[in-house]
Amino acid sequence: MTCLVFFISIFIWILTSINTPLSETYPSYFNRTFIIYGKGLPKYMHFCNDTLPLDNIDVKESIQKEFYESGLIKNKPSILLLFSRAERWFPFITPIIQQYQLPDDIKYIAIIESHLSNVTSPMGAKGFWQLLPHTAQNFGLEVNDFVDERLDVEKSTIAACKYIKQAYLQLQNWPLAAAAYNYGINGTIYQLKKQNVQSFHQLKLNKETKEFLYRIIAYKTILLFPEHFGIKRKFKPYKKILLKTIQIDSANITISSLSQYLQCPKLLLKAFNPWLLTDSLLNPNKKTYTFKYPKNILADYSPYISDLLGYSYNSEKNNPSINNKDTIIIKDSANLRPIDSNKKSISQ
């Protein structure tokens, strides 16, 4: 018995003494003493190539809270739902982030803001990127009682990218630019000068903003390395669904007429054009509005509709298929007359 205990002790000592070299760029799930695979924090975590200083006790404690005290790890159903939403919507969001030459990690801001759904905050922020009305308007979106383009995923992503790019140009630091998305650009600049610091991790801000960046990193880490946290799910982006577009500049736009003309269910039109807040729109100045609808209207878009409108939907299987025109431009809604049917869809 004594010999058995001795050999077990020697075996444990050998295991705990092995120093396994790991890449500096790959998140390590081994601590400095043991090589046992566990559920501690990765050795390295990054946001936009900025390495999180986990040797700073306050920073490490803050990121640990996001993983454990917030219940993030325990709430696996919520994480699995988030995986599905990210797989649906990142194919729409990522190309726009690339177009504006922003780091790929910027897409995770939308996850923290809305969990990738068209929600409304108590402060009146809306959409995937939770833009306030005046911010949205400043960056080119129409927001009024009838139209709210914050609810258009792609247009709101463009506005958010413009804001973040402006924040980076003024702050020259991606973590600070992310903080400014929550705190405001001018407010962040003021606090940097007032506190005489250069780094986000040195900056003392309100609890919400301080948690903002660390929460982004926590969600990013879980999506990239779910197996480490016992989540049997790999991130596999869906192929972006093909959408057709129709442009209308009539004085009176109605979902019912458009649905009838396109032979497309009203709910599909409402879901993929959530920016139209009512079923009809008076347009005396004849501004041109672009409506989107799926190329294949017979497919089941329930998850997309749930994200966009907040409830489930089963597609109507008996609707006749639409023609193969990629884009229809209607200049006269009275006759629903197509003017140009040869332009390509913006989403193909």
Binning the chain into helix, strand and coil, the percentages to the nearest 5 are 45, 10, 45
At 276, list the tokens. Answer: 């139209």
Q: How far apart are CA 212 and CA 106, in angstroms?
A: 13
pLDDT digits (tens, 9 = 90+) for 169-193: 999 999 999 999 999 999 999 999 9
Residues 6+ apart with CB under 8 A from 193: none
pLDDT number for residue 4: 58
Amino acid at 337: R
What are the contacts of 176-181 at 24+ separation with CB within 8 A? 176/200, 176/203, 178/47, 178/48, 178/106, 178/109, 178/212, 178/213, 178/216, 179/203, 179/205, 179/209, 179/212, 179/213, 181/109, 181/212
Q: Decide: residue 240, CB within 10 A, 0-12 exposed, 13-18 middle, 19+ buried.
A: middle
pLDDT digits (tens, 9 = 90+) for 256-306: 999 999 999 999 999 999 999 999 999 999 999 999 999 999 999 999 999
The H-or-E segment that residue 91 falls in is: helix 76-99
pTM for this entry: 0.80
Q: How far apart are CA 279 and CA 254, in angstroms?
A: 6
pLDDT number for residue 334: 37
pLDDT digits (tens, 9 = 90+) for 305-346: 999 986 534 444 433 333 334 444 443 333 333 333 333 322
More confident residue, 2 or 79: 79
- Whether 213 and 178 have beta carbons less than 8 Å apart is answered as yes
pLDDT of residue 25 exceeding 90: no
Q: How far apart are CA 188 and CA 167, in angstroms?
A: 9
Residues 6+ apart with CB under 8 A from 5: none
CATH of domain 80-216: 1.10.530.10
Q: Where are the domains of the chain?
A: 80-216, 243-330
pLDDT of residue 65 exceeding 90: no
pLDDT digits (tens, 9 = 90+) for 222-248: 999 888 888 888 888 889 999 999 999
Residues 6+ apart with CB under 8 A from 157: 92, 93, 96, 97, 110, 128, 129
